Every structure is written in C-alpha cells, then in structure tokens.
Amino acid sequence: MTVRPGAPQLSSAGARFAVWSPDASQLWLCLFDREDREVRLPMVRQGDGLWRIDAPGVGAGARYGLRADGPYDPNAGFWFDPDKLLLDPYATAIDRAFVYDPALAAPRGQGRDTAPLMSKGVLESPLPRLARQPPRFTPGGLIYELHVRGFTMLQPDVPEEQRGTIAALADPAVIAHLKALRVSAVELMPINAWIDERHLGPLGLTNYWGYNPVSWFAIDPRLAPGGLADLRATVTALHQAGIGVIIDMVYNHDGESDISGPTLSLRGLDARGYFRHEPDGRLINDTGTGNSIACNAPLVRALILDSLRHFVTEAGVDGFRFDLGPALGRLPDGFDPRAPLLEDMRADPVLADRVMIAEPWDIGPGGYQLGRFGEGWLEWNDRYRDDVRRFWRGDASTLGALATRLAGSSDIFREGETRSVNFLAAHDGFTLADMVAYAHRHNEANGEQNRDGHGENFSWNNGVEGPSEDAAVQLARRCDIKALLATLFCSRGTIMLTAGDEFGRSQQGNNNAYAQDNAISWVDWTGRDTDLEAHAFALAALRGSSPELHGTAQLADGDVEWLDERGHAMTVGQWEDPQRRRIALRHRSSGFAVCINGSGEECRFLLPEGEMLVPPRAVAISPPAR
C-alpha cells in the first residue's frame, strides 16, 4: 500500500486530511466555527480505501470532525450513518471531554444529528522539535503507578488551579516526594480522551480510571487543558529530576462498546477493519468491555505504532504499559509473542529502546500469557502479588513460593534475566492498607450490589473488618504493611508501588474504584501515615544504595544462600514444612542478608556476620559495611 491515513498536515496554504474508510460511499470533512456552525466538505476517494481533502485557509485552532455514509447493517459490521459526527482517529487534540448521551448510540434513522454532543478534533501547530534522548528508566528500578487526577486533587502544596492535571506532577512538592521514594519512573494511568460507559450516568457515576478510550492520540482535556504541551513540559521537569515517564495505553478495545454502544470514531469509519468479529458478524469481546480491537490488522498496526511514536517524539515519554496486553499479540489461532505488531514494536527505530510493559492477561481464549512476551518486555507479575500476599496472610506451604518470587521468579522468566514487575497492589484491587484491613471487597458505592471486582484478594483484616479504634489491631496492620513493603523493596527485578501505598492510603475496602472520582480514590495527603512513609523512604534509600537489591539477573545458588534462623542451609524437610515461616536470604559475596520472620513470635537469626533479632511478622535487613 502506497497511501495511508495520518494526522492532518498543516501548511501555509491550509490543511490536508487523509482518512481510512474502504467501505464508505462518501466521507465529509466537517469544519465548525466559534458558534458551532458547520461546513461540510466532501472528501475524495484515492484508492485503497483512503479518502483525502485539501482545505485551503484552514489552520491551527480549527475544529473539525468527520461524517461517513455507506451501508448500515450492525450485525454485519457496517455502521455508516451521516447523522453521526466522528472523531478523526488521528486527531491529536479535542476541544472538550467526551460526555455519553444515548443519542450517540441511536440506530440510523432513529436519532438526531450528534454534532452538538460530540467532541471535535482541534488542529494543533507543531511543537518545536524535541531532541531524542534514551529512556530515563532501566529495569530493576521503582515504578510508581499513579492516577494524574487522584494523585494531586488533595495535594495541599500544589496550586489549586493545577490540582488534578498533568501539570501538577511537575510541582516541586510532588517531585520532592517522588525523589524521596527513589522513583525511577512514574506510570500514568490512561491520559487519552475517554468516555463513560453507558450504565454509569443513571448511577450518578463517571469513569474515573480512563480505561475506555475514544482517541489514542488526543489527551483528555480534563487532565491536560494545554494538551500535548502540558505533557511535554511535565515530562521535561520529571526528566530533569531523573524520573522517567511511562504512560498506560489501552489498545485492546475502545469506548464504542458492544452493539448497543455509541458510534464515535472507528466504528463509524471501518468497524469491520478495526474490530474483531465472529464469522457470523458478531463483535468478539475478549476484554469484557464490548469489543476487541484487531490489533494485528495492517491499518490498525499502523495506527497503534503512529500513536506510540507520537508520544515519544512529541512528548519524550520513556515507555508504555499496555492494558490487557495479550490483545497486542492475538492472531486468529491464538497469542503469538512474534505477532506482527509485537515484532514491529521491537524493530521500530523510534520505539525499540522504549520501556515496554505488558499486563499479560485478558479474558479471551488463551488470555493468560505471563512470561511469554519475551525479549524487550517487562511483565506485571500477578504470581508475585498473590504468593507474597498468601505468605504474609499466613497460608500454609508458601515459603518456597515466597523465595522464588524474591529471587526473580525463575520459574516464569527463564532467560537468566528476570523481566518481572513485582507488585503487591495496583489500581485494580485493594490498596496495600486495605489488603490488611478487609477480608472481603466492599464495592457498594459502585452501584452493582457488590458483585463487581475481584472476589479473591488473598487479603486479611487482623480480626476486624474495616476501620478499627483498637490499638492492637492498628499496630498489627501497620506491622503487616511494613513487612509487605520490605519484601517488595528486597525483591529481585523491577518493583512497582501504587501511589499512596507508601503511607497507608485506603479506598474503604473498594477493590474496583474505576467509577469513584471522589475521596474514595483520591490520595489523602494530609491524613497520611508518616511513620509508614518514613519506613518506605528508608527502604527506598537502602534499595538505591544496594546493588544486591536492584539487579535483574536471576539469583542462583552461587550468588545467594538460603538459611534457617540458626544460620544453617535450609534442608529439604524445612522447605517442605507447610508451617515454616522463617528464612534468611544471604548474598554470598557481600554478606547482605534479608531475614524474614512470618511467625507470631520474635526470632533471633544467627548469621555469619552476627545475630539479628527480628520482631514477629517482620522483615529485617542486614546490609554489609561498604
């Protein structure tokens, strides 16, 4: 193919637009003035499904959309409806956030013109060329997952007008906190323009997380009123502080949902090309959200790669985390780590050195792919999360699994280098504080009768479900969090901490707070547990100064020894003892040791370098003198 769609091109003469829609009978470019009056300009088909138009006199700041006519048969994948204004898939900015309205989903001939309801694309002047630099993040560091809005809405040191925006992340107070934690890179939950799911409005809720995208280029104006320039400025400020930026991308589905969903962009242009369908024409739903993107179709691959390059070349981001990552490698016969899109990412000159992180599971066939993304990819390791939680909960026969996770999960990543992203909590699930305060989910605020969210969280409540004024319960919970944090910071490979877990953030037991744009989800800076925070800062400083902790090479018997509390090598019988709760990991070359006491009594560990008294349910670290 010699022609392809792309972002609108501006010149002194005007603007050129190119849009893909092979089955359409006609496309129009729709221009809107300040009073929202519309001018429709017919586009011209130029072969291979591409439509083009040159618009003289159209420049930066112009607002526009698309309309498409053609066959209408949703059951066969045809959704053409000239009453539906569509967002250009390559639009790099929009004039306002998307708001769901039932008219956006009305069948052809039964609805009204949707232009007044739709966000319009905005033409942007190119930013100055950005010098290319290597990523600030390297595997083995600390990734800090955060929601742009919730992380700063209650941050008292950030100017009020900036709170809840990408610009707030560049505030000196925020950067100081990140540096105290020795954060290697922040991982921003989705910042692309998104739309609410249709069931949320009647419940009085909105989509807070943003995992329901309409655009893969445009940043949601609620998070970046200044658009791409805001992101670039913040990335620059974080880079100057030595902190990388990773953004969470959602390519597995879009916000047009199932057959009853709205027509916003891809669906109205080429639903059969952009989405995966069953042989009988029904939408495939490997995501649980209504549709599945055909990521390995040639034009979709091009769109995805172009959007990734856009954020690297225009904003300087260091890498990407991919929601429901198996979608990127899914072919008709299943997941393939050498699928065309994944191979393109590895070979692309702009993307090849970027950080690539997979959430290696979805609900589609063969959807669990932990350990299979291969060279160049890091992967969220839910086995780490669950095994560490189960050990500290007190489950029997968990010591061996704990040791494997501490050493880099060689049973999963067999290449000699661990590609594990070790984490205990993420945006999806309990916070770290709730993990030790709730044995069950409490999602009533979501309006789904507490049926949503994970049912098994390997959590525990220390005797009381939820908040407690009992000092003993509070102390037990704080000790548990400290032990969990110490385990995380002493683990081999990359580690990830979710914002606020370092100082005891709670979501009141809600483990699926995707629709809670309120105090349930926002990070409470004034009520934070400063004792826990100091503990996390100390762990971060120790990890940062200890090469034993932040390498990525798998730990082998020649590197470390596993000792019991008497300083003897662990025996087979001890490894297999279902009730054993004590172990020490000692690095042979330096004597650096991590002593883990998961029992309810204090324990004296006799190490070659000396004795160490470890309180009950605690981790103690014996670094060597350097």
- 3-class secondary structure, 74: helix
Task: Note the pLDDT tens digit of each residue in 557-593.
Answer: 889 999 999 999 999 999 999 999 999 999 998 999 9
Say if residue 2's pLDDT is above 50.
no
Task: Note the pLDDT tens digit of each residue in 396-417.
Answer: 999 999 999 999 999 999 988 9
Tokens of 348: 């692309």
Say if residue 494's pLDDT is above 90.
yes
How confident is the model over 383-406, as a mean pLDDT?
A: 98
Q: Are 86 and 117 in contact (CB under 8 A)?
A: no
Task: Note the pLDDT tens digit of each residue in 514-566.
Answer: 999 999 999 999 999 999 999 999 999 999 999 999 889 998 888 999 999 99
How confident is the model over 306-314, as a mean pLDDT?
A: 98
pLDDT of residue 623: 84
| Cα–Cα distance measured from residue 383 to residue 435, given in angstroms and rounded to the nearest whole number | 16
User: CB neighbours (10 Å) of residue 97?
Assistant: 16
Q: Are strands 355-358 and 319-322 parallel, antiparallel or unpaired?
A: parallel
| Cα–Cα distance measured from residue 22 to residue 237, given in angstroms and rounded to the nearest whole number | 43
Confidence of residue 626 (pLDDT cuts 50, 70, 90): low
pLDDT of residue 48: 82
- 3-class secondary structure, 235: helix
Say if residue 188's pLDDT is above 60.
yes
Say if residue 44's pLDDT is above 50.
yes
How confident is the model over 187-215, as a mean pLDDT?
A: 97
Say if residue 232's pLDDT is above 70.
yes
pLDDT of residue 3: 55
Q: What percent of the chain has pLDDT over 70?
A: 99
**No. of H helices and E strands in the chain?**
13, 26
Tokens of 328: 């990127």
Q: Which amino acid makes up residue 383?
A: R
Task: Note the pLDDT tens digit of each residue in 442-474.
Answer: 999 999 999 999 999 999 999 999 999 999 999
> Mean pLDDT, the chain, as a whole number?
96
CATH 3.20.20.80 location in the chain: 142-193+208-252+295-432+481-550
How confident is the model over 127-147, as a mean pLDDT?
A: 96
Confidence of residue 483 (pLDDT cuts 50, 70, 90): very high
Say if residue 110's pLDDT is above 50.
yes
How confident is the model over 133-137, as a mean pLDDT?
A: 96
Catalytic residues: 323, 359
Say if residue 4's pLDDT is above 80.
no
CATH dotted code for 142-193+208-252+295-432+481-550: 3.20.20.80
User: CB neighbours (10 Å) of residue 625?
Assistant: 6
pLDDT of residue 557: 82
Buried b (16+ CB within 10 A) or exposed e, 466-490: eebeeeebbebbbbbbbbbbbbbbb
pTM of the model: 0.97
Q: What interhelical angle do 228-240 and 298-315 show, nearest 10?
A: 60
How confident is the model over 249-277, as a mean pLDDT?
A: 97
Tokens of 336: 């393939």
pLDDT of residue 556: 85
Closest CA relative to residue 319, chosen from 328, 327, 311: 311
pLDDT of residue 551: 87
Q: Are strands 185-188 and 560-563 parallel, antiparallel or unpaired?
A: unpaired
